[in-house]
Amino acid sequence: MKKICKNCKKDFEVRKEDLIFYDQIKVPPPLMCPDCRMQRRISFRNERTLYRRPCDKCGKNGISLYASGTLFPVYCHTCWWGDSWNPTSYGMKYDPARPFMGQFAELKNKVPRVRLLSINSINSEYENNSSENKNCYLIFAAENNEDCLYGRLVQHCKNSMDCAFLYDSELCYECVDTRKSFKCLYGERLQECVDTFFSFDMRNCQNCIFCVNGRNLRYQIYNRSCTKEEFKKKKAEIFKDYASIEKAKEEFNRLRSGALVKYAFATKCVNATGDYMYNCHDGARIFDVSNAKNCSYVADAEDPIDCQDVNNHYFKGERCYNVMGALQDTNCIGIIFSFYCNNVYYSDSCRNCSDCFGCVALNNKKYCILNKEYPKEEYEKIKNEITEEMKRIGIYGEYFPAELSPYPYNDTLAQEYFPMTEKEAKEKGFNWQTETSGTYGKETIKEENMPETAEEVNEEILKEILVCKDCKKNFRITKSELDFYKRMNIPPPRKDFECRHQDRMKKRNPRKLWHRACMCKKTNHPHHLDIECPSGCPNKFETSYRDDRPEMVYCEQCYQQEIS
């Protein structure tokens, strides 16, 4: 089925598999294309923009993902999780004469919200969408880490800093998409590597510098064997000062652009399109997802089954649609940050609930509409009335309207994946933050006076206010950060955390797909013997590598034959 997106006006296809799913959960086909649907969902997720504000109940100051001046109260963890307030006290009786979404917005702007989405962490105040961390600072969408700083999607790691999509690793710095690695710096797509620097697409490698597409390598520079002494000498040359490291970054970018890449960063995947996938089966447009079965239009998820249009969904969610932020939910439609829920619809921040519609911040409740409890039969009757009203005006199954997001668009994940100007965002109904966070012009040390080597740095720098070379925002070095630099023998950075984060994210492919053909023309591959394709591999695929990218993009078969 072909449709025109009501938002961007572009054509998009509704697959027959999608229609089966929509029929099963009893929703009409979507009105927007997959990109616009994802943009809308992640505009309800603020990960990294933090503010300082007092708790609206106890008055204690703290870090919050909400700026001051929100319509709803914001509570600290102690107050929000405590028993001194009851979300059902905000309950509203559904008025069939008024649009449901307007009534939900009214409720949403009255019920308190928790200051940060952080659970069971120790000495880790500056984190969000995180849990079970210890001694961590400015890490986001992260769990089970210790002594980690400045990162996004860091999981089960220790003593690592300035990394993104880092898993089960230790003593890593400026690494992206790296797993089970130790003491690696400036690497991308490393797996089970040790002492590997400025390298790309490496597995089970040790003591490598400036290497790409390596497998089981030991003591190599530029993919050529070297002695232990040569390796140490090269490493010392690179890390002798800030200028040498910057030069090495340029050399690494040159090497990386000429690397061989598989059409998708996918492992053990069958009949699935997308990127950064592991063990995914039968799905379309899947990004940063593991162990998915029969799921499509999904990003940042683990173990989902029979789900569509979900983001940041973990712990075996099943049969969910249009969800942003969930843990182990089943049979849910249109929910935000709801955990362990079943049959919950168009609700926000609910936990351990079932059979609820249009609720906010409920815990362990059943048969509630707009936070008001009903007998089961009355709940079903009113729920059906609301559903029919939403279907009649064409919004049932769609996500919440943009204006209901509690965050400015430029504070959310949407700005990262779908950047817009203030004018563009407001034209599409999104909110916008016009006040600039942070300080400028207060630096006590200029960029040209920054230490060039790790040896020059001492605790005096903790007293200094630095300035970012890109955005000119002021920032500081923390004690734990300084200890890491000294331990790894690297000078402090010249950019603030946000600019460093954006640099890392630019190294990853976009969450978009293009139709391309395998670029392999190797005469030693089986396709060379195919009389119908004498000039090259005939395989075609969907890939996140646009056709103007410099990398050589291969299909699965050609990549494995060349790299293995």
The pLDDT tens digits of the residues spanning 287-321 come to 999 999 999 999 999 999 999 999 999 989 999 99
Residue 95 is predicted with a pLDDT of 97
pLDDT above 70 covers what percent of the chain? 99
Residue 532 scores a pLDDT above 60: no
pLDDT in tens, 82-128: 999 999 999 999 999 999 999 999 999 999 999 999 989 999 989 99
pLDDT above 90 covers what percent of the chain? 93
Residue 96: CA count within 13 A, CB half-sphere: 9
Work out the mean pLDDT of the chain and round it to a whole number: 95
Residue 84 is predicted with a pLDDT of 93
Tokens coding 207: 């003591």
As beta bridge partners, residue 203 has 191, 215
Residue 269 and residue 282 in contact, taking contact as beta carbons nearer than 8 Å = no
pLDDT in tens, 118-144: 989 999 989 999 999 999 999 999 999
Residue 435 is predicted with a pLDDT of 78
Residue 183 and residue 174 in contact, taking contact as beta carbons nearer than 8 Å = no
- Residue 115 DSSP symbol: S
At 531, the pLDDT band (50, 70, 90 cuts) reads low
Q: Of 172-176, 240-244, 431-435, where does mean pLDDT reach its minimum?
A: 431-435
Task: Write b or e for each residue in 478-513: b if 16 or more Cβ atoms lie within 10 A of its Cβ, otherwise e.
Answer: eeebbebbeebebbbbbbbbbbbbebbeeebbebeb
73: burial class by Cβ within 10 Å (0-12, 13-18, 19+)? middle
Q: How many CB atoms lie within 10 A of CB 539?
A: 17
Rounded to 5 degrees, what are φ and ψ at 168? Answer: 50, 45
Residue 550 and residue 523 in contact, taking contact as beta carbons nearer than 8 Å = no
Residue 534 is predicted with a pLDDT of 63
Distance CA 457, CA 471 (A): 23
At 390, the pLDDT band (50, 70, 90 cuts) reads very high
Residue 530 is predicted with a pLDDT of 61
Judging by DSSP bridges, how do beta strands 61-64 and 51-54 pair with one another?
A: antiparallel
As beta bridge partners, residue 261 has 553
Residue 186 scores a pLDDT above 80: yes
Residue 26 is predicted with a pLDDT of 96
